[in-house]
A and B are shown apart, each in its own frame.
Chain A
Amino acid sequence: MQELMTELKQKIVAALNLQEVKPADIKDDEPLFGAGLGLDSIDALELVVMLERDYRIVIKEQTVARAAFASVRSLAAFVVEQHKK
């Protein structure tokens, strides 16, 4: 899980072109959107594409995306759960 979270942080920084953020700066339980990193709905959609490209997980509904992207920890849990299916 920790390994996956570290990997996801690197991918988030790369996918969203967060030049002033280092992967290690992102806290596991920090909200990704709104406060915290200050990302918005379009960033969320870029992460949807990243999940499709790198993890073969296809998200078709915004509500699913909103729940999954609450934090890096919830995102990691979502990836693990999807891969069990």
Chain B
Amino acid sequence: MTSRRIVVTGRGIIGACGTGAAAVWDSVRHGADGLRPLSLFSSTRYAGMPVGEVTENVDRLAGKVRGSRSDKLAWIAAREAVESAGLTGVSAGRIGVVLGATVGGMLGSEKFVRDSLRHEHARYGVLRFHECAASADLIAQQLGVTGPVLTFSTACSGSALAISAAGELIANGETDVVLAGGCDSLCRLTLNGFGSLLLLDPQGCRPFDAGRAGISLGEGAAVLVLEAEETARARGATVLAELTGWGASCDAYHATAPQPDGAGAFAAMVQALARAGVSPSEIGYVSAHGTGTRDNDLMEGRALRQLLGDTVPPVSSMKRLFGHTLGASGAINAAVCVLALEHQALPPSPGFGEPDPEIGIAPVRECRASALRHVLSNSFGFGGNNVALVFSTPETSVVGPASRLPSVDRRQPERLPCNGKLAIVGVGVVGPACGEFGAEKELSAARRRRLSRLQQMTLVAAKRCLPAQFDAGRTCVAIGTGLGSLNEATAFVENMILKDEVEPQPQQFTNSVHNALAAQVAIEFGLKGLNSTPTCHEISFEAALWHAAQELRAGTATLALAGAADELNRYAVAAHERWQLPGRTGEGAVVVALAATPTMEKPLGYLKSVWLGRYTGNIEAEAQWMAEALAGAELDVLVTDERGAVVAETLGRLTGRTIPVELYKQSCGEHYAASAFGFAAALRLLGKNERAAVYTVGVNGVKGLCVVER
């Protein structure tokens, strides 16, 4: 497939050091210290701790929108990005939103838990904005876009992964424009969590400094408008930079600590440079992950020296300006890279004083002009999730009649084809009743000791689907989850409130991140390819399947595990009942193994395509969407729920051919991983049918369609 070039035409950014690209660049240029004593909320244990807090009134800046603090930060950045891109004249169905986020609405959810524990009136409304996916929803609703809306939660690399996924969507012609970035707000969970890991530097973070002693937390958001070159050219947009490369890898080493030799980080950077077609010596600047922890900076220094030799180009870390903004940090790094290219200047690295001989890198001290052509942006997260991005100055030929690359076929709106069938070579199911799921038999006691129940469910499902032989170095993992490890997060928060921040639970905190599931699968089987954790409500499985298929098609992986997992949580169940949502709640984990070339004589089936989008509520339009996705192929059975059955009936009426419907949720219940059970059901139905599809419509307006064939 022809790969389209991707340009950056807009950027929006908000953080402790400023609101808006102009103010932020001014702070960046001067190497300002963005850290201040915490004032957003009270803390017994961490009062006065330096953090990168947004001190402007976020509610006022965001205007009349409903959402968590995180959602509002995202909206402020997205609004600026769209304005700076002058984004008009693009069909709503050809625009997507892809974000990275880690805490979502946790700041509000903490208050809910506190009120519940004190038997005070707890407002359920705040839980509507609990999920990380809510920020992308808000942007999509505000702008009225109906293309793919996805959220990735791979801890501190989430928004860099989001930018890379947006790159894939555009490069392959699946959509034309993506608002890509990330957001996170400060909250008690992360403050106490990183505190319990002894990773907070009371003096404020000092990236790459010999005396560095940890991170400073921060909050903020950054959003880039990424666009196909031809779309930007057609509407005469100003091109700020080009997204030329991205690469992702997994250490498969430890739940939180980076692999000390930096091999995983190195692999991600090599992939990014290869994709960009740029040699290491051509990199003019590196925006480092540079958190200020002993381990990260040492590892990153090693990886950079391995890649770039003794002449490492100028490096800086933005963490002293913004704090470590977790889910937003990759996007903030990326936005600063774009600003550096625009201004042709090297951002300094505040917080750095004394070089550490072990690291062997001295970051930029003063802002200075530099003819920048290619810059590298690093992000590394818990679970060894590494992502590297390359941005380049736009070619002078980009805007204008001449283009280096021929344009590709324009696809119909709102569709995400996944061309080329992929063999499904394994399926592992845990549930729908998860009382006894075989963890004792399939995982050793030593291994189980530190794993949460949801991690164990996911690992057992993964183990059941994995082929006997595979290339671990080229196997990728994508496990979607709607609520993630909410039981660990709520246990941590309850304990934190009841004990007033003493005796924290570090193990619960490290297990509470969404991507602990995919990361533990990688650790268990040594899988070093891309490691992705989409969190997209009811289509978290479909998004995982899309990402896995993407890696197989790109040739960066030969085997892919795609799945979804969610479990019951008492707050979530209470909200389900309170809001009178349909069905009874459930839980479970399903993982499927996909291969570009079958590893078995008779695969369970073939994945034909995956389609993601927004549900419009117009049944006729939805039936039309499905017809276009099927592209004339006859469907023998549609696996769906009552809402989907209505669309199938309408489609049957339009085409004059009734589509048999299989309702599957009676057996697995309602939960965010339910469609993965639908997918397993569709594979079983392939025994008697030629072609089946799973159609999912979510409460929040997400929709997905996966087509499988015998």
Interface residue? A84 (CB, 8 A): no
Interface residue? A48 (CB, 8 A): yes
Interface residue? A81 (CB, 8 A): no
Name the distance in Å between A57's Cβ and chain B's nearest Cβ. Answer: 12
- Residues of A near B196 (CB, < 8 A) are 45, 48-49
Are the CB atoms of B506 and A45 closer together than 8 Å? yes
The stretch of A1-9, A26-34, A58-66, A68-76 in contact with B is A58-66
Name the distance in Å between A75's Cβ and chain B's nearest Cβ. Answer: 16
What separation, in Å, do the CA atoms of A77 and B182 have in the docked complex?
A: 47
Are the CB atoms of A49 and B504 closer together than 8 Å? yes
- Residues of A near B118 (CB, < 8 A) are none
What separation, in Å, do the CA atoms of A59 and B503 have in the docked complex?
A: 12
Are the CB atoms of B449 and A19 closer together than 8 Å? yes
User: Which partner residue on chain A sits nearest B499 by CB separation?
Assistant: A53
The B-contacting residues of A in range 1-49, CB under 8 angstroms, are 16-20, 38, 40-42, 45-46, 48-49
Q: Among the interface residues B199, B202, B255, B506, which one has the most CB atoms of the partner chain A within 10 A?
A: B506
What separation, in Å, do the CA atoms of A46 and B502 have in the docked complex?
A: 13
- State whether A20 and B446 are in contact (beta carbons under 8 Å apart), knowing that A41-B257, A42-B510, A61-B213 are contacts in the complex: yes
Interface residue? B276 (CB, 8 A): no
Chain A interface residue count: which class? 20 to 34
- Residues of B near A18 (CB, < 8 A) are 449
Contact for A49 among B255, B257, B506, CB less than 8 A: B506
Name the distance in Å between A60's Cβ and chain B's nearest Cβ. Answer: 7
Q: What 0/1 readout, one digit per residue, does chain B (234-261) give for beta carbons within 8 Å of chain A?
A: 0000000000000000000011110000
Are the CB atoms of B507 and A42 closer together than 8 Å? yes
Name the distance in Å between A36's Cβ and chain B's nearest Cβ. Answer: 14
Q: What 0/1 readout, one digit per residue, does chain B (489-533) give for beta carbons within 8 Å of chain A?
A: 000000000000011111100100000000000000000000000
Are the CB atoms of A49 and B505 closer together than 8 Å? yes
Are the CB atoms of B198 and A62 closer together than 8 Å? yes
- State whether A65 and B449 are in contact (beta carbons under 8 Å apart), knowing that A41-B256, A41-B257 are contacts in the complex: no
- Residues of B near A60 (CB, < 8 A) are 198, 202
Are the CB atoms of B256 and A42 closer together than 8 Å? yes
What separation, in Å, do the CA atoms of A62 and B506 have in the docked complex?
A: 13
B interface residues, how many (CB within 8 angstroms): 22
Are the CB atoms of A59 and B198 closer together than 8 Å? yes
Are the CB atoms of B449 and A52 closer together than 8 Å? no
Name the distance in Å between A56's Cβ and chain B's nearest Cβ. Answer: 10
Name the distance in Å between A64's Cβ and chain B's nearest Cβ. Answer: 9
- Residues of B near A48 (CB, < 8 A) are 196, 198, 506
Interface residue? B450 (CB, 8 A): yes
Are the CB atoms of A46 and B507 closer together than 8 Å? yes
Q: Among the interface residues A17, A41, A52, which one has the most CB atoms of the partner chain B within 10 A?
A: A41
Are the CB atoms of B505 and A62 closer together than 8 Å? no
- Residues of A near B199 (CB, < 8 A) are 62
What separation, in Å, do the CA atoms of A72 and B254 have in the docked complex?
A: 24
Are the CB atoms of A40 and B254 closer together than 8 Å? yes
Are the CB atoms of B449 and A17 closer together than 8 Å? yes
- State whether A52 and B502 are in contact (beta carbons under 8 Å apart), knowing that A16-B449, A20-B445 are contacts in the complex: yes
Are the CB atoms of B449 and A45 closer together than 8 Å? no
Are the CB atoms of B294 and A49 closer together than 8 Å? no
Name the distance in Å between A29's Cβ and chain B's nearest Cβ. Answer: 22
The A-contacting residues of B in range 189-203, CB under 8 angstroms, are 196-199, 202
Are the CB atoms of B198 and A52 closer together than 8 Å? no
Contact for B450 among A20, A42, A53, CB less than 8 A: A42
- Residues of A near B254 (CB, < 8 A) are 40-41
User: Which partner residue on chain B sits nearest A38 by CB separation?
Assistant: B446
Name the distance in Å between B274's Cβ and chain A's nearest Cβ. Answer: 33
What separation, in Å, do the CA atoms of A20 and B446 have in the docked complex?
A: 8
User: Which partner residue on chain A sits nearest B503 by CB separation?
Assistant: A53
Name the distance in Å between B68's Cβ and chain A's nearest Cβ. Answer: 28
- Residues of A near B502 (CB, < 8 A) are 52-53
User: Which partner residue on chain A sits nearest B510 by CB separation?
Assistant: A42
- Residues of B near A62 (CB, < 8 A) are 198-199, 294
What separation, in Å, do the CA atoms of A40 and B507 have in the docked complex?
A: 11
Contact for B503 among A38, A49, A61, CB less than 8 A: A49
User: Which partner residue on chain A sits nearest B197 by CB separation?
Assistant: A45
Q: What 0/1 readout, one digit per residue, does chain B (433-449) give for beta carbons within 8 Å of chain A?
A: 00000000000011001
- Residues of B near A53 (CB, < 8 A) are 502-503
Name the distance in Å between B48's Cβ and chain A's nearest Cβ. Answer: 14
What separation, in Å, do the CA atoms of A16 and B445 have in the docked complex?
A: 13
What separation, in Å, do the CA atoms of A20 and B294 have in the docked complex?
A: 33
User: Which partner residue on chain A sits nearest B448 by CB separation?
Assistant: A19
Are the CB atoms of A45 and B198 closer together than 8 Å? yes
- Residues of B near A52 (CB, < 8 A) are 502-503
What separation, in Å, do the CA atoms of A19 and B450 have in the docked complex?
A: 11
The A-contacting residues of B in range 511-563, CB under 8 angstroms, are none
Name the distance in Å between A71's Cβ and chain B's nearest Cβ. Answer: 20
- Residues of A near B504 (CB, < 8 A) are 49
What separation, in Å, do the CA atoms of A19 and B447 have in the docked complex?
A: 11
Name the distance in Å between A51's Cβ and chain B's nearest Cβ. Answer: 10
- Residues of B near A42 (CB, < 8 A) are 255-256, 450, 506-507, 510
Name the distance in Å between A16's Cβ and chain B's nearest Cβ. Answer: 7
What separation, in Å, do the CA atoms of A35 and B505 have in the docked complex?
A: 24
- Residues of B near A65 (CB, < 8 A) are 198
| 23 A-B residue pairings within 8 Å (CB atoms) | A16-B449, A17-B449, A40-B254, A41-B257, A42-B256, A42-B450, A42-B506, A42-B507, A42-B510, A45-B196, A45-B506, A45-B507, A46-B506, A46-B507, A48-B198, A49-B504, A49-B505, A53-B502, A59-B198, A60-B198, A60-B202, A61-B198, A65-B198
Instruction: Please give the residue numbers on chain A whose beta carbons come within 8 Å of chain B beta carbons, in ascending order.
Output: 16-20, 38, 40-42, 45-46, 48-49, 52-53, 59-62, 65
